[in-house]
Amino acid sequence: MASNQRVAIVTGSSSGIGREIALILARNEFTTYATMRNIEKSLELKSITDKEKIPLRFVQLDVTEDNSVNSAIQTIHNEVGRIDVLVNNAGYVLTGAFEDISIEEIKAQYETNVFGLVRTTKAVLPMMRKQKTGLIVNISSGIGRFGIPTASAYVSTKFAIEGLSESMSYELEPCGIRTIIIEPGVIKTNFLNSMKLAKKSQDPSSRYKQLMKGVESGMNKMIENGSSPEFVAKIVFDTVSNENPKLRYLAGDDVEQIMEVKKKMSDEDFHNMMKQM
C-alpha cells in the first residue's frame, strides 16, 4: 500500500448501498475493506476485484458480535497500519405496526442497526485518535428525520443514529475526527424483498392488515422512482473526499423534496400530509 493511500472500512457490503460504496472507494484508490456477516456473499465482488485490479479486500464481520467486530478491526489495522474512514452501513428494515412487533424483534433490530454501529465505531476510535484524523460515516435515512407508519422500529433506529452521530461530532472534532450522516431516500434495491416482516403482522387477522397493504403499495410506487445505490455511493465518495465535510447530506430527490416541505409546515400540517400520502 502506498504511504499516502487512505484506508476505508464498509460494513454490510454484500449488496445494495454497501456494495456500491465499497466499489466506488476502491475504484478511487482507497484501500477498501468490504466487510459482511456472511463472507460467502463476497464472491461476485471478488470477481470484480480480480477483473479491475482494484484495492478491495474482504473480511468477515458480524456487527452484532463483539469478538467479531474487534477481531476484524484489529486484523485490518495490523495489515495496513491505519484506518481513515469507517462507513457504518450494515442494517435491515423491520416492518409491522408497532402493536404487532414483539419486544424481541425490536431488540434484534436495534442490535444490528444501532448497537452494531456503536461496536464498530468504538473499535476504530482509539486508532483514529492516535492518528489525529478520521471519518465516521453513518448511513442513516431520510426517515431518521420524520416518521412513517408500519416502520416504527426501523425509523426509531435511524432517529437514534441521528442523535448519536450529532452528539459524537462535538466530542470527536477536537481529536481530528469528523462525523458524517448520510440520509438516503427510497433506493432502487431489493428493498422490499430484504425487509423482515414482524411475525404477528403476517397473521391475516391483524387489525393493521389493510394499513400494511396500503403502505406496501405506496412503497412499490416510490421505489420505481427511487435513486440508485450508485447515487448514494457517489455522495459518500464526494463527502469523504471533501476536506471540510458537512454533518448531514440528504441523498435522493424524494427526501430532499419532503424535507423542504417539512421546513415550511407546522408539525400538525406535515402529519396530515403524510397521512394522505
d(CA 275, CA 272): 5
d(CA 193, CA 245): 34
- Sign, CA torsion 181/184/185/190: negative
CB-CB contact of 6 with 26 (8 Å): no
The question of whether 154 is a catalytic residue gets the answer yes
Question: For 214-240, b where at least 16 C-beta lie within 10 A, e where not — what string?
Answer: ebeeebeebeeebbebbbbbebbbebb
d(CA 133, CA 197): 40
Catalytic one of 33, 154, 208, 249:
154
Q: Would you name the residues annotated as active-site residues?
A: 154
